Amino acid sequence: MRLLVKSIAVVAVLVLVGAGLVMLAPRQVTLNMVNNSGKQIASMKVVDEKQTYEVGGISVGQARVFQFSARGETSFGLIARFDDGSEARGGVGYAENGYTFTATIEEATITSRLDKLSYL
């Protein structure tokens, strides 16, 4: 009987620890957007499967971090609009909450690199 009680206690503790880890898991996708275009970015857009986020401008040679919540699996794309009216598009990627990307914005293209998968 004592063994049964101990076993139940151990299982209960493991369930609580597991639930706590799930609650502490990252709840957002993180994008580090770096402007290597040589031009001022007037506005950045992040487009996922559900909505479009207006991120704001990024100065030449500077970076901006943006986070958004994915509802399960998602994909995203990036649109940079420069002060002169031209655009660069790209950075398309598959993402889940806890993923961290670096997006490098050039004059005509945007490339993204997955830096980190963080579930805990």
User: What is the pTM (predicted TM-score) of this model?
Assistant: 0.76
Percent of the chain residues topping a pLDDT of 90? 68
Rg of the chain over all Cα atoms, to the nearest angstrom: 20
For 68-85, the pLDDT digits (tens) are 999 889 999 999 999 999
Instruction: Give, rounded to a whole angstrom, the gap between the first and last alpha carbons of the chain.
Output: 36
CATH for the stretch 26-117: 2.60.40.2890
Does the structure show a pLDDT above 60 at 21?
Answer: no
